[in-house]
Structure 1
Amino acid sequence: MSMDASRLASAAAQAYAAETKPPLTEELAARVRDALQAALEETGTAGEADRIDRLNAALDAFETDLDAVVGPRIASLDAASAAVTTRHRSEAGQPLRAFGGQ
């Protein structure tokens, strides 16, 4: 288990949970963090674009599995500082909503 992956996963999970609707319970936030850490620890290229794609795929899988929350996606993740920016997904220019979409 990589300390760097753990730190980045925690930062990404915190950024995701801050904007997820409805808010995540502590248990769900821990599940997101674990899923993001697993995505970061996958073998393969470690470029930033690949890392962000893997994180966003993990968030997609989490939301699909839970079928109850909608949150942002990772737009950037600075490996040195663990700074995370997010972006909201949208359809027709409107943010997605939990429980039935548009």
Structure 2
Amino acid sequence: MGDASPAAAWADIVTDAYCADAKPPLTQELAGRVRDALAKAVASPAGDAPNSLMDRLNDALDAFETELRSVVGPRVTSLDEATRAVAMKHRSEAGQPLRAFGGQ
């Protein structure tokens, strides 16, 4: 990631983690769309909330899934800026993971 901007770095990290668990698997084109949306989210103004970066990333993933209406994937639960590590977890209701088609 050496010379990548922070926005591009986080977009790449979160995109890779999201694509690893998204159902159905994303094509390269869709992965690129996710990466672009996440890069815009990272680059947008931060605001005052301590979790604002994580919130912006998750909002971008929500918007992507809403637009497609056929993909479901995990959300960011933590970001470690020192190690550039991201933790992801699938959302669920009633103890069951959300499904891409037809909700619960």
4+ residue runs of structure 1 moved beyond 6 angstroms? none
Give the one of 57, 64, 81 matched to 1:62: 64
Which position in structure 2 is the counterpart of 1:11?
Answer: 13
Partner Cα separation in structure 2 for residue 47 and residue 14 of structure 1: 25
1:94 counterpart residue number? 96
SS in 2 for 1:45: coil
Matched to 1:23, the amino acid is P
Contact 1:48 1:77 in 2 (8 A): no
Contact kept, 8 Å, 2:18 with 2:74, in 1: the verdict is: yes
Structure 2 stretches of 5 or more lacking a match?
none
**CA offsets, 1:2-27, max 9 Å, x none?**
70110011000100010000000000
Q: CA RMSD for the aligned pairs? A: 1.5
Q: 1:80 to 1:26 in 2, by over 3 A?
A: same
The normalised TM-score by structure 1 is: 0.92
SS at match of 2:51: helix
Which residue identity does 1:75 align to in structure 2? T
Amino acid in structure 2 at the alignment position of 1:29: A
- Aligned length, in residue pairs: 101
SS of the residue corresponding to residue 74 of structure 1 reads strand
Superposition deviation, residue 47 in structure 1:
6.0
- CA deviation digits over 1:34-79, x for unaligned, max 9? 1001000001337651100000000000000011100000011122
Specify the alignment match of 1:33 in structure 2: 35
Identify which of structures 1 and 2 has the higher relative contact order when contacts are C-alpha pairs closer than 8 Å and 6+ apart. Answer: 1
